Amino acid sequence: MAAIWDSLLVPRVEQMMEQIGDKSPHKTIDGIYDHMRLDWWTSGFWPGMLWIMYEMTGDERYRDQAWGWDERLEQCFVTESNLHHDVGFQFLPTAVMKYKLTGDTDALRRGLAAANFLAGRFNLAGRYLRAWNQEHTGWAIIDSMMNLSLLFWASEQTGDPRYRHIAVAHADTVLERFMRADGSVCHIASFDAESGAFLEELGGQGYAPLSAWSRGQAWALYGMAICFRYTGERRFLHTAQAIAHYFLAALPEDHVPPWDFRAPEEDRKIKDTSAASCAASGLLEIAASVQGADAQLYANAADRILQSLTSTYATWGQEEQQGLLRQGTGHRPAGQNINVSLIYGDYFYVEALAKQNGWKNRIF
């Protein structure tokens, strides 16, 4: 994939810098990225792409455009906002990455503040991280597996094991309440917030409570691999592998999943390239955690997905398109953001390609 990185990706992201500027993109509308509010969960992905590009190329233009994002996001802590469990998605690719690459102490402070905020959402009775705000006091969602890296990182930085304890407790609740015997996962688990008692599975952004929303499968396989990397606990690695095997077995011939693996046949024609790119990066994470033929199995699977995204779904040469990948699906049941570019799909595509080109400085 080195040739793709140099000849296609670098000039394309340079073009995106000119097109997007300081906007906070989420989805494209007629090919043009929107400007979403800063407290929206996707606000860290565009600067995260820039930081990866800076580390991989040394080009200071990427660093300069990414530099101020953690300061902008910090303002959401001191003004009215809807920040929730996705502060990991927001501060890992900004403050944490900035601190790793530059040693900036304000970035360190902001990353730890976000970790404290996330730890404060832990429900002790149910042993889960509360996902959203408003009336959803008892809801936990599979996406939170990707935010656990913020807690693991904070434990390493501070020497305080409490962050890690919370991350492991939440992951174990996912093992107990989200995982199914076939390797699929649900999107939402509902608990009684007072007693912690499990109530039910909910479909969320999937087709139904017992379906298999493909981006949720990707969050889960990647998140479990992260938990293994930080803890060395093999139950997390084995779970990541089980989810990966379900995901790979359910893929169609072009290796890019439908938005839900168990949606009705006609509806499965709707793809989700963001699920594909996230899964590819997660598969590379699993490959780095195993050896020999097993490592090759997961690395090859990731490569097949990335090859398909690159040859069929990328927007090379399409000047009217600001996103990297077409045919992302945000929230099919709500009829929102279907067949668009999604900034998180673009981010994980860049992250996965960077891993294939030797990037080691993990943030998730």
Residue 76's closest CA among 25, 37, 118? Answer: 37
Q: Is 104 a catalytic residue?
A: no
Neighbour-count burial for 188-218, b at 16+ CB within 10 Å, e otherwise: bbbbebeeeebeebebbbbbbeebbbbbbbb
Single out the catalytic residue among 39, 70, 143, 303. 143
Q: Give dist(CA 123, CA 258) in Å, integer.
A: 33
Residue 235's closest CA among 186, 173, 279, 278? Answer: 173
Long-range contacts of 268-272 (CB under 8 A, 24+ apart): 270/329, 270/332, 270/338, 270/339, 271/313, 271/327, 271/329, 271/339, 272/214, 272/215, 272/327, 272/328, 272/329, 272/345
Single out the catalytic residue among 22, 34, 39, 86. 86
Q: Is 86 a catalytic residue?
A: yes
Q: Which residues are catalytic?
A: 86, 143
